[in-house]
């Protein structure tokens, strides 16, 4: 199969910022605790009129512009999110309309923080198989809408934002997606989830009173699995493709916790100078975290065409994924 590559990137985050100091006024926490336990200093929060689709559409427009592709040329749109506009229609359909991609099919992917890498991998197969020439992968989240702002265990961690990538056939057979690993363990789904609102616990007065429409997380247990899974997945994708850690120019990990990121880099054998970190600015934006990091790293010159990159994510499901690509 021919290689497919990321031909354009874009991102969009809300302008409204919530600092650790702001959170000190809402729950019993401290800037020192949040920084030392997670690495987070600020996060961006959707304002009036900003939704998963508006942020995703803005990231998508920027990615299309970056790739020099018109909306009409897009043949398929994949949107990764756990905070969709609504159950249906899909957020992908809403974004398809917003950006005027009138020739595109559209669907959502639900794989939590691993969603962008799952979506990228699906896009890679569609393009590689010749089904489509141009696929748009968007990851967008407004986690602030499902965050329990009275729960200090979770509310200090999450933020809102969107990232997008245009995927097309590699122009030179050098740049492109080399290998992907996609995994899951549904038996541990209860470690990180939103209990109500679906068919198991439809919305009722009781589900609202019990605060079941918010993120619930066993942070300590999730932490342990994340360290193991992200380390293993990133090492396997490099080794499985016949590369060594020293060949990797940049590790772009899901931005959930600086200590998980450091452990992943150590397991992979890559110094922190070659790891992209922006958790301090955005917190954990779930599926959006990796495409925001890719786009930002590119704009800052930390990611250059031809660089060998490992992206690795972990999240609700549980799901985890790693993708090795030459940017």
Residues within the interface to ligand UT7 (CB under 6 A): 29, 33, 37-38, 113, 152-153, 156, 192, 219-220, 222-223, 226, 256-257, 260, 284, 314-315
Query: Using alpha carbons only, what angle is made at residue 15 by residues 9 and 20, rounded to the nearest 5 degrees?
Result: 110
Closest-approach residue to ligand UT7 (CB): 219
Q: Is 284 a catalytic residue?
A: yes
In this complex, which beta carbon is closest to ligand UT7, that of residue 153 or of residue 262? 153
Q: Is 205 a catalytic residue?
A: no
The least CB distance from residue 297 to ligand UT7, in Å, is 19
Q: Are strands 76-80 and 105-109 parallel, antiparallel or unpaired?
A: parallel
Q: Give me the phi and psi of 318, to 5 degrees please.
A: -70, 150
In this complex, which beta carbon is closest to ligand UT7, that of residue 127 or of residue 279? 279
In this complex, which beta carbon is closest to ligand UT7, that of residue 102 or of residue 266? 266
For the chain, strand residue ranges (E) read 4-12, 17-19, 42-44, 76-80, 105-109, 134-142, 160-169, 176-184, 192-193, 216-217, 250-253, 308-315, 319-326
Q: Give me the phi and psi of 304, to 5 degrees please.
A: -120, 155
The least CB distance from residue 315 to ligand UT7, in Å, is 4
In this complex, which beta carbon is closest to ligand UT7, that of residue 89 or of residue 219? 219
Point out the catalytic residue in the list 20, 155, 254, 257: 254
Q: How far apart are alpha carbons 85 and 250 in whole angstroms?
A: 33
Point out the catalytic residue in the list 20, 93, 155, 284: 284
The least CB distance from residue 58 to ligand UT7, in Å, is 23
In this complex, which beta carbon is closest to ligand UT7, that of residue 223 or of residue 325? 223
Point out the catalytic residue in the list 20, 44, 93, 113: 113
The least CB distance from residue 276 to ligand UT7, in Å, is 16
Q: What is the DSSP string of 179-208?
A: EEEEEE-GGGGGGEE--SSSSSS---HHHH
* 3-state DSSP assignment of residue 71: helix
The least CB distance from residue 158 to ligand UT7, in Å, is 8
* 3-state DSSP assignment of residue 18: strand
Q: Is 213 a catalytic residue?
A: no
User: Closest Cα to residue 230, out of 304, 154, 311?
Assistant: 311
Q: How far apart are alpha carbons 255 and 282 in whole angstroms?
A: 8
Q: How far apart are alpha carbons 117 and 314 in whole angstroms?
A: 10
The least CB distance from residue 296 to ligand UT7, in Å, is 18
In this complex, which beta carbon is closest to ligand UT7, that of residue 71 or of residue 161? 161
Q: Give me the phi and psi of 325, to 5 degrees please.
A: -145, 155
Q: How far apart are alpha carbons 308 and 327 in whole angstroms?
A: 6
User: CA 128 → CA 4, 90, 91, 122, 223, distances in Å?
Assistant: 6, 25, 25, 10, 35
The least CB distance from residue 74 to ligand UT7, in Å, is 29
In this complex, which beta carbon is closest to ligand UT7, that of residue 113 or of residue 178? 113
Residues marked active site are found at: 113, 254, 284
């Amino acid at each position: 199969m021919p290689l497919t590559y990321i031909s354009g990137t874009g991102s969009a985050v809300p302008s409204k910022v919530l600092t650790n100091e702001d959170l000190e006024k809402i729950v019993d926490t401290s800037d020192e605790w949040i920084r030392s336990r997670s690495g987070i200093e600020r996060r961006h929060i959707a304002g009036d009129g900003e939704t998963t689709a508006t942020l995703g559409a803005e990231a998508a427009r920027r990615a299309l512009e970056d790739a020099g592709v018109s909306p009409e040329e897009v043949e398929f749109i994949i949107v990764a999110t756990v905070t969709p506009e609504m159950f249906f229609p899909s957020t992908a359909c809403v974004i398809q309309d917003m950006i005027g991609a009138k020739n595109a099919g559209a669907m959502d992917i639900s794989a939590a923080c691993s969603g962008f890498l799952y979506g990228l991998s699906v896009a890679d197969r569609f393009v590689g198989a010749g089904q489509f020439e141009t696929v748009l992968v968007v990851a967008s989240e407004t986690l602030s809408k499902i965050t329990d702002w009275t729960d200090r265990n979770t509310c200090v961690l999450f933020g809102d934002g969107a990232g997008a990538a245009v995927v097309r056939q590699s122009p030179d057979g050098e740049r492109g997606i080399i290998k992907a690993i996609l995994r899951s363990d549904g038996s541990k789904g209860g470690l990180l989830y939103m209990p109500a609102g679906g068919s198991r616990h439809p919305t009722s007065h009781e589900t609202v009173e019990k605060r079941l429409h918010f993120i619930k997380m066993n942070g300590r247990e999730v932490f342990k699995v994340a360290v193991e899974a992200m380390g293993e997945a990133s090492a396997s994708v490099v080794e499985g493709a016949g590369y060594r850690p020293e060949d990797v120019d940049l590790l772009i990990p899901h931005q959930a916790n600086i200590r998980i990121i450091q452990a992943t880099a150590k397991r992979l054998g890559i110094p922190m100078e070659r790891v992209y970190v922006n958790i301090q600015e955005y917190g954990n934006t779930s599926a959006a975290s990796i495409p925001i990091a890719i786009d930002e790293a590119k704009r800052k010159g930390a990611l250059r065409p031809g660089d060998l990159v490992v992206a690795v994510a972990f999240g609700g499901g549980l799901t985890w994924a790693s993708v090795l690509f030459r940017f």
